[in-house]
Chain A
Amino acid sequence: MSQKITIEPVTRVEGHGKVTIHLDDQNNVSQTRLHIVEFRGFERFVQGRPYWEAPVLVQRLCGICPVSHHLAAAKALDVVVGAGTGDGLTPTGEKMRRLMHYGQIFQSHALHFFHLVSPDLLFGIDGDPAIRNVIGVALMHKDLAVQGVMMRKYGQEIIRATAGKKIHGTGAIPGGINRHLDPAEKESFLNGPDPLNIDHMITWSLGALDFFKGYYKEHKEFIDNFAQFPSNHLSIVRKDGALDLYHGVLRAVDNEGNRILDDVDYQDYNEYIEEEVRSWSYMKFPYLKHLGKEKGWYRVGPLARLNTCDFIPSPLAQKEFEEYKAVTNGKPNGMCMHFHYARLIEILHAAEMMKELLNDPDLLTGELTTKGARQPEGVGVIEAPRGTLFHHYRVNEKDQITMANLIVSTTNNNEPMNQSVNRVAKSWMNGHTEITEPMMNAVEVAIRAYDPCLSCATHALGQMPLEISLYDASNNLIDKKRT
């Protein structure tokens, strides 16, 4: 009799999902699915609203990454107001937005690593769940836990200073930004008392990388082999091939590093990307049209970005990037746990970029906005912490939004997350008819590597947990665990 396992909720993941695992007659895993079980149509909600409201409205989607939605919407509407794409803004407009964005990347990645991932590394996947959390980290590795708190605080303060406030920030507007950076705040970010200054943040970013690399040296087999598989990778890159999290052209590579999307303008994204609907999940499955559903799916996020870019335009991160690339002899990296390695390099890059920007006089003076000939539609794409985020709007002559399409980072990673769950389930659950806690956590570790935001992907409200269920060959539920 074959069986089916469901995992729900996935802990330390934002949003609601359910994992089902089917076993065959020999109790081997025959099918796995990560289901997303709630959907609220945000795209319809914004129809009819004035376009200039969109950068604020879209922050209702999610309280985890509102800055990413804010900036992606603003970038799309830059096109509508005739300001062009990201590099068409005034220097002040673009640099203030970049500072906001790097603040978001920095705090989000720091939260993910210190708060959500470090417990698995420090205590092991099969560690005591009572201590395998950040409280456990706080008890046994207080310095790491404090660093996580203060790095997140620094990034949040950068966001507040550039977006205007923590909730429903208004900084980015169609065509630019609505404020300069306050000189006193700039001074504080650069030279404030320890630890809340940029040099301390860079030092801690390097320390986090050292911590990970030390762990990697001792646990190479686990880090390299856990849920690893080859895939395509997609992100934006700067026109010269540099890592650029704010603006660029769309590039995708296959698992050998061959370009399968060759630096195309993201205004034309829907010529290259299609979204498949599957009956068992509200989250769609994007893929590259010319490769088809089976071969065209791709990963996004830190792992993908370090696979698509040619170099990192900040010296310390570039040095780390070279060491990181040497692990795979320059080939694309498909190792799931290397998401964390890549994420830490991006933390360092974000800190370096913040320092560069904070020293730039354009943040304090200069024109804030620009505009040109009004356009009927626009696409904004940004590399959000979790990966490539698309916002697409059409606007009528009355300035009302008539169409909105969002492809969020987690949706882009839908198929890879399903692939990861499948691989982990096969290696941990074959031959078992009962779900143990380490088995559950192994599945969750694989999902967590992508840092998914399922509430973002489904546009649902707040905290949404997930569950694992086990079914036999006759589709009878034989075990079910909630974490």
Chain B
Amino acid sequence: MKVLIYGYGNPGRQDDGLGNAFVNRIREWVAVEGLHDFSFDSNYQLNIEDAEAIADMDLVIFADASEEEIDDFCLSKVDGTSGVSFTTHAASPAYIVKLCEELFNKKPLVLLLHIKGFEWEFKEGISDKAAANMNASLIYMKKKLLHPKKFLKPGLKFC
């Protein structure tokens, strides 16, 4: 099962870098565990070329900072039927999935990991509260990623 873990945000804007930090931590863990078929990416935001990047994957996990009213973190399933945002240069995950379907005729399973953030100023570094949320998400996601087919089953921590 080919898995892509893709974090996005601006790490120069405090908790906006949660997705990037999550990917860095997972990448280190995957190397230590010696797991195969994982690939990683990180950027300021999603954009149209990511439709091609996800096309050859079986499972894609986008990780992003969230301002939503959630406890610490949660997952949502992304498909090309809802939340397709094309309102700025930054594309929503649903937009990428829809483009992938239309342009490359591929439908990987795509999940978005929302990690609650709090601070968004011109600073490097994640706030303590946000780091705690990321650590909680790491514990949860590592268990699942040891056997990625678990993401196909019910019981995920959905938003």
The answer to whether B98 touches A463, judged by C-beta atoms less than 8 angstroms apart, is: no
Contact residues of A between 60 and 87, Cβ < 8 Å to B: 60, 63-64, 66
The answer to whether A60 touches B10, judged by C-beta atoms less than 8 angstroms apart, is: yes
What total of chain B residues lie within 8 Å of the partner, measured CB to CB?
Answer: 29
Given known contacts A135-B102, A138-B102, A60 and B13 CB-to-CB distance under 8 angstroms: yes
CB distance from A465 to the nearest CB of B (A): 6
Given known contacts A138-B103, A167-B11, A63 and B45 CB-to-CB distance under 8 angstroms: yes
Given known contacts A134-B99, A135-B99, A166-B43, A13 and B16 CB-to-CB distance under 8 angstroms: no
The answer to whether B87 touches A463, judged by C-beta atoms less than 8 angstroms apart, is: yes
Chain A residues with Cβ below 8 Å from B52 are 149-150, 153
Query: B131 in the interface, Cβ–Cβ < 8 Å?
Result: no
The answer to whether B87 touches A11, judged by C-beta atoms less than 8 angstroms apart, is: yes
Q: Point out the residue from A42, A111, A461, A483 that lies within 8 Å of B16, measured CB to CB.
A: A461
Query: A146 in the interface, Cβ–Cβ < 8 Å?
Result: yes
Q: Point out the residue from B42, B48, B87, B122 that lies within 8 Å of A45, measured CB to CB.
A: B122
Chain B residues with Cβ below 8 Å from A142 are 102-103
Chain A residues with Cβ below 8 Å from B44 are 63-64, 66, 166-167
Given known contacts A63-B44, A145-B102, A149-B103, A168 and B11 CB-to-CB distance under 8 angstroms: yes
Q: A residues touching B (Cβ–Cβ < 8 Å)?
A: 9, 11-15, 40, 42, 45, 57, 59-60, 63-64, 66, 111, 114-116, 133-135, 138-139, 142, 145-146, 148-150, 152-153, 156, 166-168, 453, 461-465, 483
30 A-B residue pairings within 8 Å (CB atoms): A12-B87, A13-B88, A14-B89, A42-B122, A57-B12, A60-B10, A63-B44, A64-B89, A111-B89, A134-B86, A138-B99, A139-B102, A142-B103, A145-B102, A148-B48, A149-B49, A149-B52, A152-B48, A153-B49, A166-B42, A166-B44, A167-B11, A167-B44, A461-B13, A461-B120, A462-B10, A462-B16, A462-B90, A464-B88, A483-B87
Q: B residues touching A (Cβ–Cβ < 8 Å)?
A: 10-13, 16, 20, 42-45, 47-49, 51-52, 84, 86-90, 95, 98-99, 102-103, 120-122
Apart from the given pairs A11-B86, A135-B86, A139-B102, 13 other A-B contacts in the complex at a CB distance below 8 Å: A59-B12, A60-B12, A60-B122, A63-B44, A64-B89, A135-B84, A138-B98, A149-B52, A150-B52, A152-B48, A167-B44, A462-B10, A464-B88
